[in-house]
Amino acid sequence: MANNDCIVIKDSNDGYPLDMFCVPKHYEEDLEKILIPSGLIADRIERLALEIVHDFSHEGLVCLCVLKGGYKFFTDLLDRIKQLNRITEKSIPLAVDFIRLKSYVNDQSLDKVEVIGGDNLDNLTGKNVLVVEDIIDTGKTIQTLLTLLKTVKPKCVKVASLLVKRTPSSVGYRPDYVGFEIPDAFVVGYALDYNEYFRDLNHICIINDHGKQKYASST
């Protein structure tokens, strides 16, 4: 069975000062603090990979990356799974697929989730599917995607999300695999963006008001 345990970052967590880690200079004025350093992210992903290999044993698995924010987590998670395939007795045959959704403008969640890119999902029929997401916020995006996936009749669908946000607007959805549960703040870095900025930041950080204004979208 999938493990719902995760690292819970409390609302009172002070995070880490920017000058304690290496942060791109062009973002120094735009961030409030580092919430999760890249090293901690890497170690947690290694554990998630171990759980996934254990759960699926020798069954084949199609890993479906939710672009764009999920690409870094997706890549690192698959690297760890492939590493485990080489060194443990259990191994999972892997295939990959991609889908792109749009659910944010600036820091506001859209009422309607848009599917704006992806392959034909018919090749997921009868397959074990692992959806790999960067963050579950309200849960509306992932529920929309899961409804879409049901129409192609996969064998089973599990969801791995690096982050789950504690927010009053949550619909209560909980993924099968969770890296970290975080406070209700807008986070960037590790491929999570704010209007396409901050994807080149290794750590997960909280953006400040200056950064939101600086990179605000006019649409």
List b or e across 113-138, with b for residues whose CB sees 16 or more CB atoms inside 10 angstroms. beeeebeebeebeebbbbbbbbbbbb
Could you give the 3-state DSSP secondary structure of residue 89?
coil
Q: Please say if 137 is a catalytic residue.
A: yes
Note the pLDDT tens digit of each residue in 126-182: 999 999 999 999 898 899 899 989 999 999 999 999 999 999 988 889 999 999 999
Note the pLDDT tens digit of each residue in 12-42: 999 999 999 999 999 999 999 999 999 999 9
Mean pLDDT of 116-134: 84
| CATH fold for domain 38-182 | Rossmann fold (3.40.50)
Q: Which of 30, 76, 137, 176 is catalytic?
A: 137
Q: Which two tokens stand for residue 10?
A: 């409390």
